[in-house]
Chain A
């Protein structure tokens, strides 16, 4: 079973600052990784798929990079609406399963 770890658990930043979030897989997953944003009381939102492709209508300040076991989500300049929890997600082929990382909370400093 592939395990995802995310760091840091919490990131305290101010609007306008750059956010760098990390996701590490316990074994190589190629580029098969997604990032989601989740705010309390709202539906999660797909931000990045296949490690580096922005989903529909996602602003350019969000970018993803990495392959193999190490992945990064970067928010170039935080907007007030970006304070949320961010999850990475991947699949396992056998047994078929989908897993999320534990999440990184980006809060206002």
Chain B
């Protein structure tokens, strides 16, 4: 069975610091994809970054990077130089065999 685990229900980080949001997954699929989404208080889910299971390099999108460690089945999101606008819920998700499942999310608070 597929499973996504986000162990940090909430985090507080000082503005301009880097932050790592944890995500571990479990799947028996050989081919799968990992995503991170941001959900601000407005409710909309915003796609941030994608990592394919066969991608050899870690994905990066601007200030976002995905620390993919396949052997450990982890796909942590790293946000560099955090900004106040980064305060939101962050969801890790996994796609495999047409199914996509989401973790419970981590609420990130950026402090001025």
Is the A/B pair a real complex? no
